[in-house]
Structure 1
Amino acid sequence: MMADNTSSNRSNCTWDTVVERNMYPTVYSLFFIVGFPANCLSLYVAWMLTKRGNNLAVYLISLSVGDLLYILTLPVWIVKALGHPVDDCLCSIITVVMYNSFYVGSGFLCCISMDRYLAIVFPLHFSRVRAVRTAVLVSILVWTLEIAVHLSLLAHTGNIEKFCSHHMCIAPMPMSVADGNGAIIRAVLGFLIPALIMTFCFLEINRALRKSISTVSSERRKICCLLLSLLFTYLVSFMPFQVVMFIRAMLEKGNTCTSQFMGDLYTVFVATTTINSVLDPIIYCLMNESAKTEIKKLFLNCEQQLSRIYSSVVKPQ
């Protein structure tokens, strides 16, 4: 997102956008090419597993939908980075979708971690909490809360009133006090708390598995690798961006410009948040045995269908 130097009541300062122009088209194109089919496949697998009564797949459906919405904004960022004009309303919509997808993803990664925590640490309890119906209700609640919080922050920063009248996809520079407070709230509620919940769940699951004598070592490794990979990807994707946003919120305070170096970091770390949306479905589909089984069935079915089409087209003379 480019720096905004149009506000008359703010300091006259800009960031050079060379990094954005050179990086976004290539990186976002790669992320879209990989992320779109990966999330579509993950969504299909999750749907098939949900039909079989897998409550964890319900959270994966919502996670995949959120990631897909984010992935679908990437072509607009590419067009914008190449210097082409983007409509104000479209700009506002993709910015809202992007930020909401950030924190929806955080919420459902927490749900997945909590589900595994209850299943492994308390295997004989909470069966109703881990039912498919409960997972659906929790998913609806998470979506509702995330959207409500995001709309509240948009109202707090005054962006709802001017939704289609200015470029929300241009980063305000310097940050207003309201924007800075919103960034801090997002960092705490949308990143720090989910990261702590996920870390706690992973540590407790790892401790419980080490004590378990009924779980074979290979199964323990698979569970720990899945959760650790999701946690590691989440931290690598979002921590740098949230740290830079927090520093900007603390330093700028509506009247001070941060350095070009900070601007370059911000530009790079906005892009790295996409890593989470790209890798989450790949990690889950590669490390979950039920998911791999569904993928094999899908590919086998596609192969059979292609063979039938080929046989009907190429008939022996």
Structure 2
Amino acid sequence: MDWITMGIGLPLTLTVIVAIFLQVKKDQGAPVYVINLLFSDLIQFCARITGLFRPRIASGIIDFGLMASVGFMVCISLERYLVIAKPLWYRFRRNIKTYVVVCVVVWTLPLSVLLTVYLTREYDTAKIFYQTIVPSLALLPFPLFIFFLVGTIKALSAALSVPAEEKRRIVAIQVVVLLIYSLLFLPIISKLLSKEFKLIHYLLFLAGIYLSPLADPTLYLLTRKSFLDTFLASLCSCKASDNQEMSSKDTESTTAPHTETV
């Protein structure tokens, strides 16, 4: 699983990062939090390579990358919410200084937590801190994701100036963030909180650790209007073709009795 996920995820993440920097060179807006999220994925991939030689050190680096990923997912969801719910406030607060401060805080918090765990000399205290306090802190973003999604949907219903395509794109980002956290990070948290060994929890725990870096590049694809518009256009064309086929069948079924009577 290490080699498969690294063989797919590492080139994919590097490709997306290069695409983002090319987007910046074309004077387009840079998704700062998405870039940091992808760098947290790179840290996890590098930690797996380190794990082949130093498993204990690699475990701490992977934990650091996972916690940073959750933090930047919260930033992405919050940013999408503020764009719609508080557009004027967000426009004046959106600057390089704010981005730098938020990113430094997100990178520093998991590092300080993990250093507290690994520098604790008493084994029982460190174990309680790692298996109780750290997962409990990781659960805090879950209600935030739900609040941001519901708040975004309510704000979009009242935002008449926002195009329908932009509304679908913003909601899609919020839904994907919530799904990634619920399907991949919640099993990891539940495994850390559970004191009993269960095979299902352990398999979901491994799936979350291995697949979470692979799911993050989808957030970049959703920030690109061209990708989402093409995807939605394909869905609409498929739906239109299905409706046309059903309508043609209905017309044939309605005209068939008349032809028989004639």
TM norm structure 2? 0.77
Q: Deviations over 1:124-154 (max 9, x none)?
A: 1132422233112211122122211221122
- The equivalent residue for 2:176 is 229
- The equivalent residue for 1:289 is 224
In structure 2, the CA distance between the partners of 1:181 and 1:94, relative to structure 1 (3 Å rule), is same
- The equivalent residue for 1:183 is 131
Kept in 1, the 8 Å contact 2:190–2:201? The answer is: no
- Residue 112 (structure 1) shift: 1.0
RMSD: 2.5
Residue pairs, 1:74-223, within 5 angstroms: 74-75=48-49, 79=52, 86=53, 90-156=54-120, 158=122, 176=124, 178-189=126-137, 191-223=138-170
TM norm structure 1? 0.64
Q: Deviations over 1:263-293 (max 9, x none)?
A: 5632551342232211111x12322226859
Aligned residues: 227
Matches of 2:226 and 2:62, distance apart in 1: 27
Q: Deviations over 1:144-179 (max 9, x none)?
A: 2221122112223658xxxxxxxxxxxxxxxx4531
Q: Secondary structure at the match of 1:127?
A: helix
- The equivalent residue for 2:33 is 59
- The equivalent residue for 1:269 is 205
Q: Deviations over 1:28-63 (max 9, x none)?
A: 3221122112211222233344564636x2212211
Rg larger for: 2
Matches of 1:155 and 1:291, distance apart in 2: 48
Q: Deviations over 1:168-203 (max 9, x none)?
A: xxxxxxxx45313322211121x2112222221111
Give the helix-richer structure, 1 or 2: 2
Kept in 1, the 8 Å contact 2:9–2:213? The answer is: yes
Q: Secondary structure at the match of 1:65?
A: helix
- Residue 237 (structure 1) shift: 0.5
Match of 2:187 among 240, 265, 285: 240
Q: Deviations over 1:90-112 (max 9, x none)?
A: 22221111000110001111111
Matches of 2:56 and 2:223, distance apart in 1: 37
- Residue 73 (structure 1) shift: 2.7
- Structure 1 spans left out of the alignment, 5+ residues: 1-26, 80-85, 160-175, 249-257, 294-317
Kept in 2, the 8 Å contact 1:45–1:291? The answer is: no
Worse-superposed segment, 284-293 or 107-116: 284-293
Kept in 2, the 8 Å contact 1:100–1:150? The answer is: yes
Matches of 2:23 and 2:96, distance apart in 1: 11
Percent identity of paired positions between Structure 1 and Structure 2: 23
AA aligned opposite 1:216: P
- The equivalent residue for 1:171 is none
Q: Deviations over 1:195-247 (max 9, x none)?
A: 22222111111111122211222221121112211220121101112112111
Kept in 2, the 8 Å contact 1:104–1:146? The answer is: yes
Match of 2:21 among 47, 56, 72: 47
Matches of 1:49 and 1:113, distance apart in 2: 21
In structure 2, the CA distance between the partners of 1:197 and 1:233, relative to structure 1 (3 Å rule), is same
